């Protein structure tokens, strides 16, 4: 940037030289501790990657369940340690592929899942007792989790053997993404029901991945990403406690999801600060005594918003730097974006290159040889302290508005993120912020590139599958199950049990979501005031 004094992405001062004076009065025991010990600044496990590397969890899903299944088999064969499912927009919004509102979006940004039939195809030949699966799904998270459980049961895999994560973070949908269905109070009830259900039936499942990633992609600074994500986490803990759950019963299964940008030093500081804030909040505010409840375990994805369609090969460099930031910051799992994602869905080759990037970091560098290599760095510890202080202050502003839900209803987080996004866009347009290949070091001619395209015939194929499903299932069984779901939703009982019965009877995702819409209504966002 053109400022006389350099600043971080969050606008915090960036000193040209750091030294002992930067940490005057600094208590290493209070700020750092040992790896695997409170406040977990240095990592959540004592040995971190010296014991084993992070999980390489590649995000994939497009078109039909059969196409995505083929990609999953390719990723497993290439050495990925966990699957991560992308769902198309109608599935994320709780609509079937043949709903009028779904027209033109089926299979476009992820895989279309309309029923148990599709879920069977998606995981055909994938041993669910040996593969960990993450699902990027929020408002209908309970449905997709139950479909996964049903497929596991058909494979002979008990719920106790299933492992993975449902994103299930609907609060950030109101802030940044917009794929919400129900009002916040009902969404929080559904989240608490998932916590309670998994505690008994799916004990190894991570019930939520509280996400800052999508806020960052919408324009949030690192400080905003940490503050708003942890403020949402606070709200989920409160909701679970209000539902009668004890903190140490559910908190060990909470996980987080952050972005990794190219601003390597600030990103490493961000991850360290986030762990420290969460540990202190869980211990001091919520009385968590189990160390697992105090640990901030997180998945990271490299920053898609920083990828460019111009000179796309440069994205290989960007993704490598971003991945290194995540690793040096102590992530538990990592997805590396493909270099062509700013153009279209990744090809098989580009998806493999993205995975190979992580494998090079693991096997050809020395970053796995020691725990927290930046510990004690004057620059990193100062940046961590500055970022922590700024994030805590912003979290206090959310609390002053009544907590995350009330702040969402006032449009606070969304407004703050939009201000930051506007500032970045203005700086890029003015040339104050350099984006290589876009506003500096451009090429006169771009090499032709043939991206992967989604066949528009997929929508018609999904329509036919739905028609066949409705013709072959027992409509009376479906109607009876959906009636039971509506009745449960009107009470305070856990809705996942009748929901599972409806899905097992081959009710569709849209029908189940419509049953809850009938009882809970839909969310109408406030007018923007930015």
Per-residue pLDDT at 439 exceeds 70: yes
**Residues whose CB is less than 8 angstroms from the CB of residue 291 and which lie 6 or more positions away in sequence, other chains included:** 37, 38
Question: What backbone torsions phi and psi does residue 260 show, to the nearest 5 degrees?
Answer: -125, 115
Average pLDDT, the chain: 93
Give the tens place of pLDDT for each residue, 370-392: 999 999 999 999 999 999 999 99
Contacts of 324 (CB under 8 A, 6+ apart): 264, 361, 367
State whether residue 383 is helix, strand or coil: helix
Residues 98-112 pLDDT 10s: 999 999 999 988 999
Alpha-carbon separation of residue 21 from 131, 146, 388 (angstroms): 49, 55, 19
Q: What pLDDT shows up at residue 81?
A: 67
Beta strands in 183-222 (DSSP E): 205-206, 208-211
Q: In this predicted model, what pLDDT tens digit does every residue of 165-177 receive, in sequence order? A: 999 999 999 999 8
Q: What CA–CA distance (Å, rounded) separates 44 from 330? A: 8
Cα four-point dihedral sign 37, 41, 45, 49: negative
The per-residue pLDDT for range 285-326, each reduced to its tens digit, is 999 999 999 999 999 999 999 999 999 999 999 999 999 999
Task: Using the predicted structure, report yes or no on whether residue 190 has a pLDDT greater than 50.
Answer: yes
Q: Taking Cα atoms as reference points, which of 216, 215, 214, 285 lies closest to residue 251?
A: 285
> What is the spatial distance between Cα 287 and Cα 251, in angstroms, rounded to a whole number?
11
Structural domains in the chain, sorted by start: 53-429 (3.20.20.240), 473-520 (no CATH)
pLDDT at position 430 over 70: yes
Report pLDDT for 84.
84
User: What is the per-residue pLDDT across 440-480, written as a single tens digit (0 to 9) for each?
Assistant: 999 887 777 676 666 788 999 999 999 999 999 999 999 99
Residue ranges of E strands in 268-393: 298-302, 333-335
pLDDT at 7 over 60: yes
**What pLDDT sits at residue 2?**
43
Q: Write down the pTM of the prediction.
A: 0.90
Tell me what pLDDT residue 451 has.
67
| Residue 403: pLDDT over 80 | yes
Q: Which residue has the tokens 């419509």?
A: 514
Span 253-296, pLDDT tens digits: 999 999 999 999 999 999 999 999 999 999 999 999 999 999 99
Supply the pLDDT for residue 456: 80
Can you give the pLDDT at residue 530? 44
What mean pLDDT do residues 184-196 have?
A: 94
Give the pLDDT score at 24: 85
Mean pLDDT of 206-231: 96
User: What distance lies between CA 41 and its chain's CA centroid?
Assistant: 21
pLDDT confidence of 1, banded at 50, 70, 90? very low
pLDDT at residue 164 is higher than 70? yes
The C-alpha atoms of residue 86 and residue 115 are separated, in whole angstroms, by: 16
Q: What is the pLDDT of residues 17-44, one digit of tens each?
A: 999 999 988 888 888 999 999 999 999 9
φ, ψ dihedrals at 386, nearest 5°: -65, -45
- Report CA dihedral (77, 81, 85, 86) to the nearest 10 degrees: -90
For residue 421, pLDDT beyond 70: yes
pLDDT at 63: 80
**Residues 328-350: pLDDT tens digits?**
999 999 999 999 989 887 888 99
- DSSP sequence for 149-174: HHHHHHTT--GGG--EEE----HHII
pLDDT of 434 strictly over 90: yes
Q: What value, to the nearest 5°, has the Cα angle with vertex 89 and ends 86 and 95?
A: 120
């Amino acid at each position: 940037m053109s400022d006389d004094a350099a600043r971080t992405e969050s606008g915090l001062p960036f000193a040209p030289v750091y030294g002992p004076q930067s940490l005057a009065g600094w208590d290493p025991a209070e700020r750092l501790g040992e790896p695997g010990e409170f406040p977990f600044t240095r990592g959540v496990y004592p040995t971190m990657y010296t014991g084993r590397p992070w999980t390489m969890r590649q995000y994939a899903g497009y078109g039909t369940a059969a196409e995505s299944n083929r990609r999953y088999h390719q990723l497993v064969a290439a050495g990925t340690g966990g699957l991560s499912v992308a769902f198309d927009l109608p599935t994320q919004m709780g609509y079937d592929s043949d709903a009028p509102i779904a027209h033109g979006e089926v299979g476009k940004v992820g895989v279309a899942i309309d029923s148990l039939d599709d879920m069977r195809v998606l995981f055909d030949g994938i041993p669910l007792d040996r593969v960990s699966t993450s699902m990027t799904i929020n408002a209908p998270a309970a449905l997709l989790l139950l479909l996964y459980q049903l497929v596991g049961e058909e494979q002979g895999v008990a719920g106790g053997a299933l492992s993975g994560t449902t994103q299930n973070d609907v609060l950030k949908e109101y802030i940044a993404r917009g794929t919400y269905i129900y009002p916040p109070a009902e969404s929080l009830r559904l989240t608490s029901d998932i916590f309670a259900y998994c505690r008994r039936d799916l004990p190894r499942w991570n019930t939520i991945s509280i996400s800052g990633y999508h806020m960052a992609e919408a324009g949030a600074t690192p400080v905003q990403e940490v503050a708003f994500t942890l403020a949402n986490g606070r709200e989920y803990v409160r909701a679970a406690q209000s539902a009668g759950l004890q903190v140490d019963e559910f908190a060990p299964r909470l996980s987080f999801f952050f972005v990794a940008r190219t601003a390597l030093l600030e990103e490493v500081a961000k991850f360290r600060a986030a762990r420290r804030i969460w540990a202190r909040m869980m211990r001091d505010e919520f009385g968590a005594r189990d160390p697992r409840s105090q640990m901030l375990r997180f998945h990271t994805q490299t920053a898609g918003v920083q990828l460019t369609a111009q000179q796309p090969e440069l994205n290989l460099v960007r993704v490598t730097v971003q991945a290194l930031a995540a690793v040096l910051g102590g992530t538990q799992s990592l997805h590396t974006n493909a270099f062509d994602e700013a153009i279209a869905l990744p090809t098989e080759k580009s998806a493999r290159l993205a995975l190979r990037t992580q494998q090079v970091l693991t096997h050809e560098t020395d970053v796995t040889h020691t725990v927290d290599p930046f510990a004690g760095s004057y620059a990193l510890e100062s940046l961590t302290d500055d970022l922590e202080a700024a994030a805590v202050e912003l979290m206090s502003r959310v609390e002053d508005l009544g907590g995350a839900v009330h702040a969402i209803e006032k449009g606070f987080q969304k407004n703050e993120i939009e201000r930051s996004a506007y500032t970045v866009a203005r700086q890029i347009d003015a040339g104050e912020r350099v984006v290589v290949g876009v506003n500096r070091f451009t090429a006169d001619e771009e090499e032709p590139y043939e991206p992967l395209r989604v066949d528009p015939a997929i929508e018609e194929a999904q329509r036919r599958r739905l028609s066949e499903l409705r013709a072959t299932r027992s409509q009376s069984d479906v109607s009876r199950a959906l009636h039971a779901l509506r009745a449960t939703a009107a009470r305070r009982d856990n809705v996942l049990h009748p929901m599972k019965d409806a899905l097992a009877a081959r009710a569709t995702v849209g029908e189940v979501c419509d049953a809850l819409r009938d009882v809970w209504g839909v969310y109408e966002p406030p007018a923007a005031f930015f």
